[in-house]
Structure 1
Amino acid sequence: MAKRKPWWIELPVMAAVGLAIALLIKTCLFQVFSIPSGSMENTLKVGDRVAVDKLSPLFGWEPEAGDKIVFRDPGGWLPPEPERGAFAKGLSFVGLLPPAGDEYLVKRVIATGGHTVACAGTTLTVDGHAVAEPYLHPGDDSCAGLDFGPVTVPAGYVWVEGDHRSDSADSRYHRDGAAGGAVPVADVVGPVRAVVWPLF
């Protein structure tokens, strides 16, 4: 029977193996993101940690209406991120926080490339058909007082909105941009698969 190595040798080896596994998961499988605002309540709450599937996009997955996705700020959607401390930078490095200097948002896909979205009164429509939205924050309706459209989503883009419609600066508020408020699919990290914290 082989003699067990001293703990001061085993501990750094175990830490290195754990770090390598965390980096592999972050790079190829899942990455954890923190929900910073109430724009997706009550589906996702402030402080929730969500696991985003980074593997599916490598095998041809594309966003569909109803998907909850994390995407990079297309430009001007978020204020500048404050400087992070060393501990937060370490968590970012292993994938337990989003990368420092990169700003991400989480929203729900409402329409994809080629579809036309509009909102009037309390009714959201895609290609002229009313969309049922049982996930909306209690007290909100689909338009939350903001009529718009019709807007045709360009190919390779998605139209996104928050579930807390009255507290979400989403595609509706960026219609003066080059893509009329739509987000490039190339900026999508992946779909939200699960809330990993809190556990209950």
Structure 2
Amino acid sequence: MALILVISIVLSFVIKTFFFKAFYIPSESMVPTLEENDRIFVNLMVPRNFALERGDVVVFKDTKGWLPPSSEGGQNWFQESLEFIGLLPDTSQQHLIKRLVGLPGDHVVCCDAQQRITVNGVALSEPYVNPAEIPRPVPFDVTVPAGKVWVMGDNRNHSSDSRYHNAQEPGNGFIDLGDVEGQAVVIAWPLNRLGALGNYPSTFSSVPSPK
């Protein structure tokens, strides 16, 4: 019995380290795709072994100071141990989750005459954006540098994303590829929301490669 437990812990740690990792959603920035308190699994092989794509939902480290400092002491040692080996989702407030809209080299603009985001001159139809509210346009015109990505929340009026950090802040709203933990692929909890997370390839299929 003890051997089975040890093997289970080791397998869980290996899976969490190299393949999939659980995360907890603490905010409403990705509604309706993700609800507050959802638990998700993130594919760690993207972008480590497989390239990111426009439309991917990505989890990334907050190295640019978008979030306030985390408060220590929220968990006991047992919870921290289970989180470390992968048996509990990562509840760290120092990770964020958004949808990838611009890859390196992409020219991303808000907005055209119909208030649509454009990528490399092509207007996007974005079915994942929260239909409950008309997004307030936040004008920007950026070209994504090499090694960076541009991210936005699906709940546009309630997401402090690349648009709101596109000024004199560190990174100018861009996220380093090295800070991307992985691609969110599955909602695991609650069970009534169990399902895969898509990246809406039809939304970006007409977008040309950057010049």
TM-score, length-normalised on structure 2? 0.82
Partner of 1:21: helix, strand, or coil? helix
**What is the distance in 2 between the residues matched to 1:169 and 1:187?**
17
Corresponding position: 1:15 with 2:1:
no
Please give the secondary structure, in 1, of the residue aligned with 2:172: coil
Q: Which amino acid aligns with 1:131?
A: L
- 1:1-200 to 2 correspondences below 5 Å: 10=1, 12-59=2-49, 61-83=50-72, 84-86=74-76, 87-95=78-86, 96-98=88-90, 103-120=94-111, 122-141=115-134, 144-176=135-167, 177-200=169-192
1:145-189 CA-partner distances (Å, limit 9, x unpaired):
233221111111110000000000000011123432110111001
Kindly provide the CA deviation profile for residues 100-144 of structure 1, in whole angstroms up to 9, marking residues without a partner as x. 6x7111100011111111113621111221111001112334xx2
Which runs of at least 4 in structure 1 moved beyond 4 Å after TM superposition?
Answer: none
Cα displacement string for residues 1-32 of structure 1 (whole angstroms, at most 9, x for unaligned residues): xxxxxxxxx3x333222211110110111000
Q: Using a 3 Å threshold, how does the CA distance of structure 1 residues 57 and 147 change in structure 2: closer, same or farther?
A: closer
Q: Unaligned regions of 5+ residues in structure 2, if any?
A: 193-211
Count residues in correspondence.
186
Equivalent in the alignment of 1:3: none
CA distance in 1, matches of 2:16, 2:138: 39
Structure 1 gaps, min length 5: 1-9
8 Å CA contact 2:129–2:154 kept in 1: the answer is yes
Percent sequence identity over aligned pairs? 39
Helix, strand or coil at the partner of 1:179: helix
The Cα offsets for residues 22-81 of structure 1, whole Å up to 9 and x where unpaired, read as 10110111000001000000101111111001134332x222211001100132111112
Structure 1: how far apart are the matches of 2:11 and 2:54? 33
Residues in 1 aligned to 2:184 and 2:123: alpha-carbon distance in whole angstroms? 25
Aligned residues of 1:118 and 1:147 also touching (Cα < 8 A): no
Distance of 1:113 and 1:190 partners within structure 2 = 17
When the two chains are superposed, the root-mean-square deviation of aligned CA atoms in Å is 1.8
Three-state SS of the structure 2 residue aligned to 1:123 is: coil
Q: Which has the larger radius of gyration?
A: 1
Post-superposition shift, 1:99? Answer: 7.3
CA distance in 2 between counterparts of 1:160 and 1:20 reads 34
Q: Partner amino acid for 2:181?
A: V
In structure 1, the residue matched to 2:203 is none
